[in-house]
Amino acid sequence: MSLSATELPSLKITFGPREAFTVGVPVLAGERNEALFGSTDSVGQHGDFLLFQTNGWLFGCASLPLTVGLEEASHRLYANIFKASRGFHLARIWNYVPAINHAGPEGMENYRLFCRGRSLAFEAHFGLNFNAQLPSASAVGCDADMLTVVFAACDAVPRHVENPLQVAAYDYPGDYGPRAPSFARASVVAGSDGATVFISGTAAIRGHASIAPESTRLQLACTLENLQGIATACGLGPGLGAGHGVARHFKVYVRHAEDQPMVATILEEQLLRDGDRVSYLRADICRSSLLVEIEASLFKAQLR
């Protein structure tokens, strides 16, 4: 008998040996703790965010109860990010959204409320042309009753990249909500020992339309093609930078827990290599029609 979500461990995001944040996303298989940046130093708190720093990088994590509503919570946390990261450049943001596909006030889906709050915060900070400043990001559902946001910012100026197979999320038509999602498909940060590359949550969207809404297997095939497309646009090549000493971390979200073994088998054959680190997670995804999503974080990548 399969475990229920309440019996599964929740993903923990770790900064250094003592600071770990539970985000309310059950782990089905693979790694339970995500520690992308190794040891970091705590550098205090700014607004709602606890902050950590290492080697030209600044990280923050905050969880906010929804007593003020999801849209306001989203706007508030993003306004906090811009203040906390002053002097740095945003490279990646992770969002864990309660009841992401459920209807909120006035019947609007929670993800759309979140997107409106986020977008308005970006516009208030960067102005009408804020799209050029958008970093890579993901937003998935969580079982917690708080909105959790984690960001990574750096000294270097990132290069934000779009996928030629997909419409830029910030250019989605109004069919997907009153404010389009505010993120780039990937962000690339150059470094002396190789690039850090963040590939946003990637799913079976071609152009701006969802593909094969009834088939996880077909959606996974489309998702892998989209990953190849964005990886090539970043300069990683279609193999997503495998080899050459690159460290690759993947998070794989499945809407239905029973799909995880099939998804894992295909990924072992078509994507994963020895040394890759992967977490398989049970989560609702930003569109109710999407059944699987994959994100990647790569370190010391050699670009072509």
**Angle at alpha carbon of residue 173, lines to 163 and 224, rounded to 5°:** 30
Q: How many CA atoms lie within 13 A of 285 on its CB side?
A: 28
Task: List, as one string, the DSSP characters of 135-203.
Answer: -EEEEEEESSSEEEEEEEEESSPPEEE--TTB--GGG--GGG-SS----BSEEEE--TT-EEEEEEEE-
Q: Quick check: is 293 catalytic?
A: yes
Q: Which helix (H) or strand (E) holds 81?
A: helix 70-84
Q: How many CA atoms lie within 13 A of 195 on its CB side?
A: 23
d(CA 248, CA 197): 9
Q: Do the beta carbons of residue 202 and residue 230 sit within 8 Å?
A: yes
Strands of the 292-301 sheet, one edge to the other: 33-34, 10-15, 19-30, 277-282, 247-254, 292-301, 195-202, 186-189, 159-161
Q: Which of 148, 93, 92 is nearest to 283 (CA)?
A: 148
d(CA 78, CA 85): 10
Catalytic residue among 34, 71, 109, 293: 293
CB atoms within 10 A of CB 287: 18
d(CA 101, CA 258): 20
Active-site amino acid positions:
293
